[in-house]
Structures are given as C-alpha cells and as structure tokens.
C-alpha cells in the first residue's frame, strides 16, 4: 500500500523533508486493548478504530489481550517497533495504577509515545435487579449488617474499579468481598446473572446494561453528573463529599514512534472526537473531556500516576488483595 503523507504533493515533501516524518503507517494498524471484549476500553477503542480506519483509508483492527489489569497488552506494545502499526489504548490501570502496585517490564512514563487523550469517564456504582439496597445509604447499611459478605466485582486486582471500591470501604467504614475479573465484560455478565452483587464499573461499559434495565445505577464517581446520566446522583451528593474515582483512556504508541507521527495522528483523533455522532455516543457512555495535544496527554498521565500512587500507599492496596 502506498504511503500516505500529511502533504500529498511530492514537491511539498521535497521542499519540507520534515513532513516525511509525518507519514502514517503504510499498512494495517492494530489497537491493542488490555481487557476482554465488551468493556469500556474495548468499546471506545472500536469507535475510534472505525473512524480512524475510514479517515486513513486503511484497516484498523482492535485486538484484545486481557489480563493483569491491562499490563500484558501494555508490555507488548511497549516493545513493538515505532512504525505506528501497533498502538495501545492506554488506561488508568496500566499507566497510572499498576506502576505503583507491581514490578512491570515497562516504564509507563518513558516506554510510550503519548498520542491523545480519548476520554475521561466516571465509574458507576451498579447492582443487579435483585439486590435490596439501591441507594448508597442503603448499601452502606447492608454492608454494615453483613460485614465481609457483600460482593463487589471489578475488572481485576489493582484496577480502577478495585481502587474505587477500596476508597468506598475506607470512606464508609465497611468491609466487603472483592471479586476480580479479567475485564468489565465478564464481570458484568456475572453481575447481571447474580453471581456477584455490586460493582464500581466504568460508565462506558455499564451504560448499555443500565439503559436496558439489566443493571441498576446507584451513583456516579465524578464531582458533577455526566451528561449521559443526568438522573444518577454523584457519590458526593450521596453522602461522600469529595469522592472522585474516574477512569480514563487514551492512545499511545511505543516510545520509538516519531513525535511527528504522533502529532499527525493526534490531529485526526481530535477531528474524530469533534464528530457529532462520536460526541453523542461518548456522552451516552459518560466519556468526556477527550482531545488536546500530545503534550497535554503526557502531563495528564504524569499527574494521574502521582495521584494514584498516593492512594495505593494510603489505602495499603496490594495487587494480590
């Protein structure tokens, strides 16, 4: 396949050699997702992949490599060539939480080239239809009456959902059972089926099940209500002021990727995020505040890494908890 450049005129390329570095990959592109199909990361990656594939006139394939809260996929991408053919849907787990919890074969800050923040979403505190407690107040009372017996699922040990639960346990003074899964998809299947009772899950993954009535939304975890769920109260409104536990997603490449290529991709990702149908779909899932420069995304990830490292330390969270 012929290489596509930011400036298609060959004369312009000869006049400005630096533009050659902005060439997009010449063949199919993979976006690695570190979780099972059906989860929030997977959903947003597929939306972006479809739009970018059409924009770039190439095949963009989403590939799921689940396990270890996204770090297996992250490690794989970190060691790929920097030709832009392999990208990673970076996630709060692999880039900001896991580095504080476990020894990794990659450095989250230096082994990746930031491309663009795709979106930030609250977590939704959800349950299945059969649960008696469907408000935060009632859930706290239920957990206190049944210490260590109420189950909460998550996308994995040390995941953003797990840490949201740990924050809730500390704030409410309760104990509960943590049940980790290899992603939101299988966890939601068990929650709907009644194998587990509650979860702090990404709004992106939980929304379809809330909309069809198979899951009940109790609260959301940003300071203000997401546009897609205007009737679901925040944790702050539910008696826990200041409670905020978000999940975020963004595209990165291996560190060897040329900065100019990352900036070229960033331009098109910002165009995709400005598309009305993408805005509408993302708002339904609670994914907001995406876009901006590569530098903005790099700074954002650094701030998040410091924030969650402190939470891990203060809550004494262990990866195998």
Residue 311 has pLDDT above 70, yes or no: yes
Q: How crowded is the C-beta side of 148, counted as CA atoms within 13 Å?
A: 0
In angstroms, the first-to-last Cα distance of the chain is 49
Q: Domain ranges for the chain, please list them.
A: 10-121+247-315, 122-220
Residue 2 has pLDDT above 50, yes or no: no
DSSP 203-223: HHHHHHHHHTTSEEEEEE-SS
Q: How confident is the model at residue 9 (pLDDT cuts 50, 70, 90)?
A: very low
Q: How confident is the model at residue 298 (pLDDT cuts 50, 70, 90)?
A: very high
Residue among 312, 271, 308 nearest 95 (CA): 308
Asked if 159 and 179 touch (Cβ cutoff 8 Å), the reply is no
Distance CA 201, CA 168 (A): 13
Average pLDDT value over all residues in the chain: 90
Q: How confident is the model at residue 3 (pLDDT cuts 50, 70, 90)?
A: very low
Say which range, 11-15, 75-79, 88-92, has the weakest mean pLDDT: 11-15
pLDDT in the model for residue 14: 41
* pLDDT digit string, tens, across residues 138-190: 999 999 999 999 999 998 888 889 999 998 998 999 999 999 998 889 999 99
CATH architecture of 122-220: 3-Layer(aba) Sandwich (3.40)
CATH fold match for the domains 10-121+247-315 and 122-220 = yes
Distance CA 158, CA 78 (A): 20
Residue 265 has pLDDT above 70, yes or no: yes
Four-point Cα dihedral 126, 130, 135, 141, nearest 10: -110
Residue among 221, 207, 187 nearest 285 (CA): 207
Q: Which residues, other chains included, contact 160 with Cβ-Cβ below 8 Å and sequence gap of 6+?
A: 91, 92, 93, 97, 123, 202, 245, 246, 247
What's the fold here for domain 10-121+247-315?
D-Maltodextrin-Binding Protein; domain 2 (3.40.190)
Asked if 5 and 19 touch (Cβ cutoff 8 Å), the reply is yes
Asked if 97 and 160 touch (Cβ cutoff 8 Å), the reply is yes
pLDDT in the model for residue 1: 37
* pLDDT digit string, tens, across residues 194-217: 999 999 998 988 999 999 999 999
- Structure-token pair, residue 138: 């009632």
pLDDT in the model for residue 70: 92
pLDDT in the model for residue 69: 86
pLDDT in the model for residue 155: 86
Q: How confident is the model at residue 320 (pLDDT cuts 50, 70, 90)?
A: low
Residue 261 has pLDDT above 70, yes or no: yes
Percent of the chain at pLDDT above 70?
Answer: 93
156 alpha-carbon distance from chain centroid: 13
Residue 308 has pLDDT above 50, yes or no: yes
Asked if 118 and 292 touch (Cβ cutoff 8 Å), the reply is no
pTM reported for the whole predicted model: 0.82
* pLDDT digit string, tens, across residues 228-244: 899 999 999 999 999 98
* pLDDT digit string, tens, across residues 122-136: 999 999 999 999 999
Q: Any alpha helices (H) in the chain, and if so which ranges?
A: 10-15, 40-56, 71-78, 92, 98-101, 136-145, 160-172, 184-193, 203-211, 259-273, 276-284, 294-315
pLDDT in the model for residue 23: 81
């Amino acid at each position: 396949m012929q290489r596509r450049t930011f400036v298609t005129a060959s004369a312009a390329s000869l006049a400005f050699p630096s533009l050659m570095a902005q060439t997009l990959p010449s063949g199919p592109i993979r976006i690695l997702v570190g979780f099972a199909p059906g989860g929030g990361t997977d959903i947003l990656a597929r939306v972006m992949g479809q739009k970018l594939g059409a924009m770039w006139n190439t095949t963009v394939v989403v590939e799921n490599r689940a396990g270890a809260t996204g770090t297996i996929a992250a490690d794989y991408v970190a060691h790929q060539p920097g030709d832009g053919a392999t990208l990673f849907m970076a996630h709060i787990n692999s880039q900001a939480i896991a580095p504080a919890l476990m020894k990794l074969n990659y450095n989250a800050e230096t082994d990746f080239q930031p491309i663009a923040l795709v979106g930030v979403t609250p977590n939704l505190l959800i349950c299945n239809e059969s649960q008696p407690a469907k408000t935060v107040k009632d859930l706290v009372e239920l957990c206190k009456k049944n210490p260590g017996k109420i189950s909460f699922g998550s996308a994995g040990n040390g995941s953003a959902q797990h840490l949201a639960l740990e924050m809730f346990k500390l704030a409410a003074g309760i104990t509960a059972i943590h049940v980790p899964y290899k992603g939101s998809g299988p966890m939601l299947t068990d929650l709907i089926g009644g194998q587990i009772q509650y979860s702090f899950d990404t709004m992106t993954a939980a929304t379809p099940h809330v909309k069809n009535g198979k899951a009940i939304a109790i609260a959301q975890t940003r300071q203000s209500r997401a546009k897609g769920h205007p009737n679901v109260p925040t944790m702050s409104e539910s008696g826990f002021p200041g409670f905020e536990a978000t999940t975020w997603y963004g595209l990165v490449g291996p560190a060897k990727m040329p900065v100019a290529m990352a900036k070229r991709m960033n331009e098109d990702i910002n165009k995709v995020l400005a598309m009305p149908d993408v805005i509408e779909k993302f708002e339904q899932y609670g994914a907001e505040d995406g876009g901006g420069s590569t530098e903005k995304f790099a700074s954002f990830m650094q701030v998040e890494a410091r924030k969650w490292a402190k939470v891990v330390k203060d809550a004494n969270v262990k990866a195998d908890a």
